[in-house]
């Protein structure tokens, strides 16, 4: 499933052709994705202008001139493709939504497994949206730091890996990048999340290391994926990761003799070095 860096790369790809542009035609090639499209979906979009193309965690948010918000999620296999002047190569079979914009761009949503979603929320619906309202701080925002992280982890008896995977603690982090940030910070995925804060709630030294690691890993991944000229996709190249997918191989931390191990936490694979991550 695409994680925050991949979704942010998609946002940056769509922004130049959608922000400030009007939906001239909206074509739905099936009645649903993961869930049915909202009633009058195409009608409510056509003629509206995209005022801003934003992102919240793994959700793409198109703020519309009508006051509604188009909320899009890529699911497991969803992707967007942008074409101009009828130049829109693709497989066709899994092209489920087509946006024809006044910018001259044709924006096509392709989703072979149909786990993606599109919702159209009025202002009142958005304020009551349980998932969006419950999301934790954005890891790349200026407001996110060790103090915020410690406050979110304070009193949690779960593992640090489980806490960071919880979208209420930090939004947008998925299994791959949680493994990577824990390795960069030198912290065990088994460590209790509550250990990030003192009894008074102040951030411990480990929380400072972890907050810095989160920002560096995510910012680096966003830059790497965005640099691609083709359609942004998952950053699955194993050579780009320091622990993820490297079970049985030497730890890449300088002078560390450890061998990367794989364990299962919460039904997901966790990769870490038992020597340098404590």
DSSP string, 109-143: EE-TT---EEEEE-HHHHHT-HHHHH----TTSTT
CA 261 to chain centre: 25
Specify the CATH class of 146-272 in words. Answer: mainly alpha
Residue 89 pLDDT? 54
Q: What average pLDDT is seen over the chain?
A: 93
Does 130 have pLDDT greater than 70? yes
141-189 pLDDT, tens digit per residue, is 999 999 999 999 999 999 999 999 999 999 999 999 999 999 999 999 9
What's the rounded Cα separation, in Å, for the pair 222 and 83? 23
Q: What is the pLDDT of residues 218-275, one digit of tens each?
A: 999 999 888 864 544 555 455 589 999 999 999 999 999 999 999 999 999 999 999 9
pLDDT over threshold 70, residue 95? yes
Contacts of 33 (CB under 8 A, 6+ apart): 75, 96, 111, 114, 115, 116, 117, 118
Residue 256 per-residue DSSP state:
-
Q: Please report the pLDDT score of residue 93 as a whole number.
A: 87
Which of the four pLDDT bands, split at 50, 70 and 90, describes residue 86? low
Domain ranges of the chain: 4-131, 146-272
Residue 121, pLDDT score: 97
pLDDT computed for residue 180 by the predictor: 98
CB 214: neighbour CB atoms within 10 A? 25
Average pLDDT (188-216) is 98
Catalytic residues: 2-3, 58, 268
Query: CA-to-CA distance for 121 and 204, rounded, in angstroms?
Result: 40
| Dihedral angle computed from the Cα positions of residues 162, 168, 174 and 178, in that order, rounded to the nearest 10 degrees | -50
- Confidence at residue 55, expressed as pLDDT on a 0 to 100 scale: 97
What is the pLDDT, as a whole number, of residue 229?
Answer: 47
CB atoms within 10 A of CB 84: 11
The reported pLDDT for the residue numbered 202 is 97
In this structure, CATH architecture of domain 4-131? Alpha-Beta Barrel (3.20)
* Cα–Cα distance for residue pair 81/230, rounded to 1 Å: 10
Q: Contact 273/260 with Cβ under 8 angstroms?
A: yes
Cα–Cα distance for residue pair 238/65, rounded to 1 Å: 42
Band (90; pLDDT cuts 50, 70, 90): low
Say how far apart CA 44 and CA 126 lie, in whole Å. 16
End-to-end Cα distance, the chain: 28
Beta partners for residue 118, in sequence order: 72
- Angle at CA of residue 67, ends 63 and 69, nearest 5°: 40
The answer to whether the CB of 13 falls within 8 A of the CB of 232 is yes
pLDDT above 80 (res 209): yes
- Mean pLDDT across 127-139: 94
Q: pLDDT class for 91, splitting at 50, 70, 90?
A: low
How would you class 205 by CB atoms within 10 Å of its CB: exposed for 0-12, middle for 13-18, buried for 19 or more? Answer: exposed
3-state helix, strand, coil in the chain (%, to 5): 30, 25, 45
pLDDT at res. 237: 52
Q: What percent of the chain clears pLDDT 90, i.e. is strictly above it? A: 89
Closest CA to 182 of 114, 116, 253: 253
**What is the per-residue pLDDT for 240?**
80
- What DSSP element (H or E) covers 99? strand 95-101
């Amino acid at each position: 499933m695409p994680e925050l860096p991949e979704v942010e790369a998609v946002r940056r790809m769509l922004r130049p052709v959608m922000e400030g542009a009007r939906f001239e035609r909206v074509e739905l090639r099936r009645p649903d994705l993961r869930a049915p499209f909202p009633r009058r979906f195409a009608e409510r979009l056509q003629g509206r202008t995209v005022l801003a193309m934003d992102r919240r965690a793994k959700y793409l948010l198109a703020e519309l001139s009508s006051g509604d918000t188009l909320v899009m999620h890529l699911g497991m296999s969803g992707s967007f493709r942008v074409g101009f002047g009828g130049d829109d190569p693709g497989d066709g079979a899994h092209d489920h939504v087509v946006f024809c914009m006044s910018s001259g761009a044709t924006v096509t949503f392709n989703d072979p497994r149909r786990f993606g979603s599109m919702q159209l929320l009025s202002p009142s619906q958005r304020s009551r949206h349980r998932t969006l309202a419950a999301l934790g701080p954005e890891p790349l925002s200026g407001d996110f730091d060790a103090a915020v992280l410690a406050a979110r982890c304070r009193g949690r008896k779960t593992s640090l890996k489980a806490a960071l995977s919880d979208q209420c603690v930090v939004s947008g982090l998925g299994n791959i990048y949680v493994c990577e940030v824990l390795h960069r910070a030198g912290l065990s995925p088994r460590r209790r999340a509550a250990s990030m804060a003192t009894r008074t709630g102040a951030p411990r030294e480990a929380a400072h290391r972890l907050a810095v690691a989160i920002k560096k890993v995510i910012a680096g991944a966003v830059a790497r994926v965005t640099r691609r000229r083709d359609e942004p996709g998952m950053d699955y190249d194993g050579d780009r990761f320091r622990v993820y997918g490297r079970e049985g191989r030497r730890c890449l931390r300088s002078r560390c003799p450890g061998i990367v191990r794989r364990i299962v936490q919460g039904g997901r694979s966790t990769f870490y070095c038992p020597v340098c991550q404590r």
